[in-house]
Structure formats: C-alpha cells, structure tokens
Amino acid sequence: MLFKSLVISSFVLLLFSACNQKDTIVIGSKRFTENYLLAEIFALYLEEKGYKVERRFGMGGTMIAYSALQTGEIDLYPEYTGTVSEAVLKIKESDRETLNQNLKPQGVEMLQPLGFDNSYSLIMRKTQADRLGIKKISDLKNYPELKGGMSFEFQERQDGWADLKKVYELNQKVKGIEVPLTYEALKNNKIDFAEAYSTEPLILKYQFVVLKDDKNFFPIYEAVPLVAINLDEKIKQDLNQLSFKISQDEMIEMNSKVVNGMSLSRVSQDFLFNKGLIKSIKTKTQSNEIAWNKLLYRTYIHLLLTGIAVILASVFAIPFAALFSTQPRATGIIMNITGILQTIPSIALLTMMIPFFGIGFKPALVGLFIYSLLPILRNTQSALANIDPRLITSARGIGLYPSEIFFSVKLPLAFPAIIAGIRTATTLNIGTATLAAFIGAGGLGEPIVTGLALNDTSLVLQGAVPAALLALLMDGFFALIEKYFLKSL
C-alpha cells in the first residue's frame, strides 16, 4: 500500500515537474568531451544570468539530441554547422543563412557561432606518416594495405567514410570503433589511420598527425548553439553573448584538461571566469553536496523508471497469462512474441522507441516495459500451468466456481513463482535502465554514459555502484517476499 502510494505520488510529481519545465532551460549534449564542455559552458553562463537550468547531457548521438530538441525535451544543445547540413538536413550548402532557413520549418534555430571550427579529419601516427611520406588524404591512395578505424556514425553519415572513399579513390578496410577508443587503437598500432575531430587534444598528446584535406571534402564544422525556435528571445540574446568567445586553441586546451582528469565543471568555470563571463567559481564542497543530491535524484528516477515499467508489465502480463493459461497454443504464440522482443538488444530496443515516443522518460519506460513482459508472463503462465491437477479437481469437486478457483486456489498457489518473475524483471531492468541514459531518460545510467564518454572511471562508478547495489537490494527484497509466500504454502 505504501509502495503504491509512493509510486503514484512520484508519478504526480513527475507530471508536475514536466509541466513546470517552462521556467527551466533544459540543456542537452551529445556524448563526447567537447560537446559536454560546451553544454556545461552554456549551462553555467545561463545560470550566471539567473536562469534555472537542467542538464540532460550525454545523449547517444546526433539524431537523438536533434529529435529531443524538436520534440521539446531539451531547449538547446551544442552542434556544428557541418553536422547540421550533412547529417540533419542532408544538403550541400553549409552557410548559416541557408541552414537557418531550412531549420525554421523544423522548429529549430542556429545561433551565433562560438568561434572555432571542429571539422573532421583523418589522423595517423606521426612516425608511420613520416616513414611512408603521407601528408595529405590523397596520399593514402597508394597504401591500400593500411587499416582504418571509424565510428559507426562516421561510416554511415553522408559526409563520412563512404563518400570520402569515392572522392579520394581509397580502398582501405576500416573497422568500426567508437571515437575515444580509436585513439588508443591507433596509438597501439591496431589501426593505421582514424577519423578525428580537429580539436581533439589527444592528437597532441599521442603525437598523431592530421592529414590535409586536399580535396576540401569535409564541410566546415563551426560550433554553434542549436536552440528551439520558440526559446525566449532574451535567452537567445544571452547565448549570443558567447559568440566568438572560444578559439580553436582554447577549445583544444579545455578538451585536454578534461582528458587529463580535471572535472567538466571546473574547466568550464575556469574558462568563463578567466573571460570575465562569470563572477565566481563554486567551491569544491558545494559541488560535493550537489553530487549527493544528484545521486539521490538519479536513484529516484532509476527506481521510478524500473518500478513503473515492472508494475505496468505485471498489470498487463499477469492477467494475460492467467487468461491464456488454459490455452497452450495461444500461450505458445505469446511466449514466442515476447521471446523475440527479449532478444532485441536493449540499446536497440530503446532507440527503436524514439520515433514513437521521442526521447527521455517515456520511450525508456516503454522499452523497459517490453523487457519486463517475458519473465513475468513466463513465470505466471508456468506457475499456473504447474499447479497440482488434483487440487484443481478437488476445488471443483467441492463446488467452487471457476472464478473462485482462480482467485482462491490457483493465484495464491502461483504467487511465489509470479513474485519470482517480477523479481527477475526488476533486477534485469535495473541493469537495463542504465542504458536508458543513452536516450536521455536520466537515472543512474547518466554518470555511466558520461563517464564512458569522458573516460572518467570515477564517474562511471558513481552510476555503476549504486545501480549494482540497487539491483542487489531489490533482489534481496523480492527474495524475502518470495520466501514469505513460499513459507505459507
């Protein structure tokens, strides 16, 4: 009863906070260091200007962040002109005016550029490039045996590897590796060239060389704030104050600091403070307190997400299994369908929800709901099917009606197994829910996703440890309930 009311009140609270969002500016970011930094700079600057800001950092890719902007889940995020033209609008022109004309019907607006250009480029180990005499991308043509490493996004996008290959007549094999890892791979001779952002700090650190884009293949990637067109004009003007405030070198330096272990917020604050854009730097103790609050809030969101998904799945699956428990064929079909749904990789399932539900809490909830179905459905069905038939005969024999048999005999007897199913679904979901951060649902996955992107193990642990503890805790809790009901049999 307590749990139920807790869930309901949480739900109401959530709806309330969703309605209240008008006052708060929601800032998103994609999942790489520079984007985090820019988003944090936006956030800090707007906070300095007196706005209330919510950070929804670490979205799983351009399309997720962009559709979040379109659906109003976030109000702005840092983007690059080239990405907008090539990946979002799929047009050749990349001047800001044309882009803004094309963005307008989609409810999106691009503000003033921040001042630096972060184009794609290909990089190599300096030693190898020197030895082979490779200076520009067209030189690669003569070395078909070299191996490349590219992110999946780069392999797929219009201005990515496929076109690059055609333009430069390259025929090297490339491996799919996510960006932070390509540098390690390149450093350790696993690959010979890789895609890179031109502001990537590791280029300096690992002594890579940037190959010259001698055929001007890559579009210009000017960093800009991408905002919802209906964002308050005042806010837009404030953000335009940041225009041309960040140079290429400054960006590389900031990136480098984060890679070397300095916190995002610290680097961003230092930058803004030095530029005179904020008046003070928050002390460390303050940020620690905030971390605890954040942890609690994330845990709460995490529990809410898993809890509602499991409750909905129970409400749906238990009567469903009960209804069909006497029809083996129908049960078989349902089991197969849920079984197939279960085999979809969780991250894929979560991403599949975006076209229908946008990003954030809702699609994650639906995805987790689908994941919870199978264990609950299967356990309920098999528990009901495996009740000693003599007890059913006995129940019928003394004159109980079918509904009475179901509620007074079958359901109580199947209860421990049903609880076991809910237990499996819950622990499974606490794990899977960490992935929901990829589609901006928040929860304990947020620090994990961010930590992975920033190569920050302590941040990863801030999400992973509570998530693991939560899973153990819930498992233990349900084990107790299960034991209690088993004891009563």
The contact set with other proteins (CB under 8 A) reads 390-391, 393-401, 404, 408-409, 412-413, 488-489
- The 8-class DSSP code of residue 164 comes to H
Classify residue 279 as left (phi > 0), alpha (psi -120 to 50) or beta: alpha
Q: In terms of CB distance, is 371 or 415 closer to other proteins?
A: 415
Q: Shortest gap between Cβ of 481 and other proteins (angstroms)?
A: 15
Question: CA 253 to CA 247: how far, in whole Å?
Answer: 10
CA nearest 440: which of 357, 334, 332, 328?
357
Q: Shortest gap between Cβ of 324 and other proteins (angstroms)?
A: 21
Query: What element of type H or E holds 174?
Result: strand 173-176
Asked whether 356 and 416 are in contact (CB, 8 A), the reply is: no
Q: Shortest gap between Cβ of 434 and other proteins (angstroms)?
A: 37
Collapsing DSSP to helix, strand or coil, 111 comes out as: coil
The alpha carbon of 279 is separated from its chain's Cα centroid by a whole number of angstroms, namely: 33
Q: Shortest gap between Cβ of 398 and other proteins (angstroms)?
A: 6
Q: In terms of CB distance, is 352 or 409 closer to other proteins?
A: 409
Q: In terms of CB distance, is 17 or 408 closer to other proteins?
A: 408
Q: In terms of CB distance, is 279 or 390 closer to other proteins?
A: 390
Tally of residues, the chain: 489
Q: In terms of CB distance, is 24 or 393 closer to other proteins?
A: 393
Q: In terms of CB distance, is 335 or 400 closer to other proteins?
A: 400
Beta bridge pairs of residue 227: 76, 109
Q: Shortest gap between Cβ of 386 and other proteins (angstroms)?
A: 14
Query: What element of type H or E holds 355?
Result: helix 354-357
Q: In terms of CB distance, is 151 or 379 closer to other proteins?
A: 379
Asked whether 433 and 368 are in contact (CB, 8 A), the reply is: yes
Asked whether 146 and 140 are in contact (CB, 8 A), the reply is: yes
Q: Shortest gap between Cβ of 60 and other proteins (angstroms)?
A: 47
Asked whether 105 and 236 are in contact (CB, 8 A), the reply is: no
Q: In terms of CB distance, is 298 or 410 closer to other proteins?
A: 410
Asked whether 81 and 114 are in contact (CB, 8 A), the reply is: no
Q: Shortest gap between Cβ of 486 and other proteins (angstroms)?
A: 10
Q: Shortest gap between Cβ of 389 and other proteins (angstroms)?
A: 11
- The 8-class DSSP code of residue 188 comes to T
The type of residue at 115 is: G
Asked whether 387 and 96 are in contact (CB, 8 A), the reply is: no
